[in-house]
Structure 1
Amino acid sequence: MVRLIRLFTTTIILSAGILTGCASVKMASQSEDAKAKTFATNPQQANVYVYRNEFIGAALSMAIELDGKEIGKTGPKSYFLLGLEPGHHTLVSKAENDSLLNLITEAGKNYYVWQEVKMGLLLARSKLQLMSEAEGQAGVRESKLLEVNGASPVASVPVTKSEVATKPVEKTISQPAPDSVVVAKQAEPIPAATVNASLPSPAPVASNNITKIERVPFEIGVSSVTVERIAKQNSCQSTKGAGLLYKKGPVEVYRVQCEDGREIKARCEMRQCEIFTP
């Protein structure tokens, strides 16, 4: 009983702090904020606005990862502006849970991703959602621009093909993994053409700003059977079953291709699975 009372008291204290406090994040200048809110496009890259326009969970800063690299943390009423090369990118919001969003971007277009904040057990949870231009611009206008890890607010964070081509590699590599580049200290640069030839072809480009999942080899995960059972409960018959799409720590994302053309995705954590819509 004493432990339950302590747990209940701790939950109340944390929840009060989340609702009333204010997270410390790195803000950009007013001039950069004003420039970002013109929503001007770049013919050579895509602009991705990641915004959090709510006060719920104000005491908690939430990290954003882009293609496996943290770009910074959001606070209430704040946003990032990212200039990205066209192609496939993965955004992850880190809170009590991990929320994953896959994007396929086109040059010369703006994309708006809402980091929705929800109450969790002890901390706030979050969910990344791709929004329409009208909804996205409205959310950005009521927020303030953040720095990207101390760099320029508009920055292409992920390593691109051209950047990989300039990195040194070992002269002799024994049995490298497929489609990989091994980095070492004693090295020499390799031609860009060689690296580009070894990289996989980009996924087809989205034609109407919708979220797409990159095609990946079918892989069985520890929760595949559970996800297949959930799919059958939703009238989804599949001859292939549930394939593992993404895994990071205890979080796994699965995909089931139904015979009737539908596609079901499920998120599993500690083998507890539920259907979600990215």
Structure 2
Amino acid sequence: MRFMKLATVLSIAIALTGCASGVKHKDMESSIPALQADKGRIYFFRSSSMFGAAIQPSITLDGQKVGDSKPGGFFFVDSNIGNHEVATSTEVEKKLTFTLEKGEVKYVKTSPSFGIMVGRIIPELANAEEAKKELPDLSYTGTATTK
């Protein structure tokens, strides 16, 4: 019985170490810099679900690493307008392509999925309404960047 309690506590501790920590979006929203007129902004976020918490691959935008897919985390990148490709990679690379317009804000949600050997993180466009419901309680995991 004592072993079961210890195993449960250890499992919870291991799972929590994989979750994002930091300032919540709702606490920093007013300090997020305004978007430059000739750019677009891309928010990357992941829900705080424990499913797939150990899988935290890098996220690339047009071939450059911009952050990591961390459960309960978000970050944003200001980027040039035009076509873009987002990718995550575990055993398989998953890609998302979209066009960013001047002054537009896009939301890319990364979600865990089953794989053959390890799980996968799938990037997909989220609508603004869904993203704005999830963002307030997510923790900031990046640094504001311009690409």
* Letter aligned with residue 41 of structure 2: N
Q: Does the alignment pair 1:155 with 2:145? A: yes
- Superposition map of 1:74-93 within 5 A: 74-93=69-88
- Per-residue deviation, residues 233-275 of structure 1 (Å, max 9, x unmatched): xxxxxxxxxxxxxxxxxxxxxxxxxxxxxxxxxxxxxxxxxxx
For 1:62, the equivalent position in structure 2 comes to 57
For 2:134, the equivalent position in structure 1 comes to 139
- Per-residue deviation, residues 74-125 of structure 1 (Å, max 9, x unmatched): 2111112010011111110122321101121012111011111113233221
Match of 1:50 among 44, 47, 50: 44
Q: CA deviation at 1:57?
A: 1.4
- Superposition map of 1:73-112 within 5 A: 73-112=68-107
* Letter aligned with residue 155 of structure 1: T
* Letter aligned with residue 47 of structure 1: R
Q: Which has a greater percent of strand? A: 2
Query: Structure 1's 143 and 96: CA in aligned 2 closer, same or farther, altered over 3 A?
Result: farther
* Letter aligned with residue 141 of structure 1: P
Are the aligned partners of 1:112 and 1:131 in contact in 2 as well (CA < 8 Å)? yes
Query: Structure 1's 146 and 108: CA in aligned 2 closer, same or farther, altered over 3 A?
Result: same
Higher RCO by CA contacts (8 Å cutoff, separation 6 or greater):
2
**Paired residue secondary structure (1:134):** helix
Task: Indicate the percent of aligned positions where both proteins have the same amino acid.
Answer: 19
Q: How many pairs were matched up?
A: 135
Residues in 1 aligned to 2:50 and 2:66: alpha-carbon distance in whole angstroms:
21
Q: CA deviation at 1:39?
A: 9.3
Residues in 2 aligned to 1:42 and 1:29: alpha-carbon distance in whole angstroms:
23
- The two structures have a TM-score, normalised by structure 2, of 0.75
- Per-residue deviation, residues 111-167 of structure 1 (Å, max 9, x unmatched): 0111111132332212111111101222222311112xxxxx22123xxxxxxxxxx
Residues in 1 aligned to 2:132 and 2:19: alpha-carbon distance in whole angstroms:
24
Query: Structure 1's 112 and 121: CA in aligned 2 closer, same or farther, altered over 3 A?
Result: same
Q: CA deviation at 1:28?
A: 6.0
Query: Structure 1's 136 and 24: CA in aligned 2 closer, same or farther, altered over 3 A?
Result: closer
Structure 2: 5+ residue stretches without partners: 1-10
- The two structures have a TM-score, normalised by structure 1, of 0.42
Are the aligned partners of 1:89 and 1:102 in contact in 2 as well (CA < 8 Å)? yes
Are the aligned partners of 1:37 and 1:141 in contact in 2 as well (CA < 8 Å)? no
Query: Structure 1's 139 and 84: CA in aligned 2 closer, same or farther, altered over 3 A?
Result: same
Name the larger-Rg structure.
Answer: 1
Moved over 3 A (4+): 19-22, 27-33, 36-42
